[in-house]
Amino acid sequence: MHSVSDRQARERAAGFSLLEVLISGGILATMVYAIGSLTVSGTDAQEFARRLNRVTEITQDLVDDIRLELVSSVRLFGNNTEGNGNFAVFDFDGAPPVLPGTRLPTIDANGTIQRDSGGDEITGNAMFFTKLAWSDRFRCVSGNEYLVDVYRWVTWYQTVEGDGPQTGSAVGLNLVRMVSEPLADAGAIDRITDPDDQAEVLLHLLNATADVNGVTHTPLQVVWNRGALANVVGTFRQIDPASGELRDNPIALTGRSDPWEIERASDTVTGLLTYRHHSIGTNFARPTFGVSRFGLTQAPGVGTAGFPHGFETQVVGPSSARQVLVHMVVVSTNRRGQVAWSDLQAVVDCRDL
């Protein structure tokens, strides 16, 4: 027969003390916190990896697009009278404005790709070149056939997005690609010595009739003397739609302005990064991002937005063997967690005739 004290002792042994409950609760809370933290960290890591893959893919696509266009280039424009003059007559009205402080690369025929030094800067933060759009072969009524190359100007430049480059922010810049109207090669046109044949070829180009292969192209109005200065009479000539003759001054009835302005293709002026939720890296990005790897950094000042930011270009080598450097830093505009960014550069061999 058990005593009362024995029964009480067994009853006490069957439960948990307050101290035991508190200790158990503390251990459980610690485990829940640890598991939750690991879950959140794992989710954040997966999200960062996804954004990192995305920004790398976008940067690679942009650099590949530039590289493919440069392969078909026939003339590169630099920071000189010819390049800046042609850039000035490009029609930017209604397009995203060019970033203040933008400059084309200085073409260094005897140099190599390298970081700029004071007094010897060649790096630009935009690109401007001419590419071959198509070659048109046409047979006149006389039976004579003529081959005319047709070009387009292409420029890649930075523009301010939102508040633009700001202290402590790696974003605020967009990248724009703009392409000109087609331009007929003046050399090929001037080699047509028969005036009737020349007028027939010019009206064929203007009216976009079928070539010798039955192919039609975009109509064109302007004949361009590749390599001539923009402010020289005869560098640009317009086809008279009535006679097929060439006019040194723009023809008012076509709506073209005087002095000369080279129009742009309307479908090529949209920023390439905003809708993708990315930005060209600004000078305020962390040094590890690789911004201003080649150009000397200039902070924003009065009337400028800094130079060069995350889009750098160089053009080196003789005209027969030009090399073009394209260096691009793209940053995700997603503000959660770590900043995803990509730093990519490529060197392209291209023609400069």
Question: Structure tokens of 326?
Answer: 């394209």
Find the mean pLDDT for residues 251-257. Answer: 70
Number of alpha carbons in the 13 Å side-chain half-sphere of residue 240: 10
pLDDT band at 118 (very low <50, low <70, confident <90, very high): confident
The model carries a pTM of 0.85
Please write the tens of the pLDDT for every residue from 297-331: 987 765 568 899 999 999 999 988 899 999 999 99
Please write the tens of the pLDDT for every residue from 73-116: 999 999 999 999 999 999 998 899 999 989 999 999 999 999 99
pLDDT band at 349 (very low <50, low <70, confident <90, very high): very high
- The larger pLDDT score, comparing residue 253 to residue 348, is at 348
Residue 333 φ then ψ, to 5°: -85, 0
Task: Examine the pLDDT at 32 and tell me if it is beyond 90.
Answer: no
Q: Residues 303, 191: contact at Cβ < 8 Å?
A: no
Other C-beta atoms lying within 10 Å of the C-beta of residue 199: 18
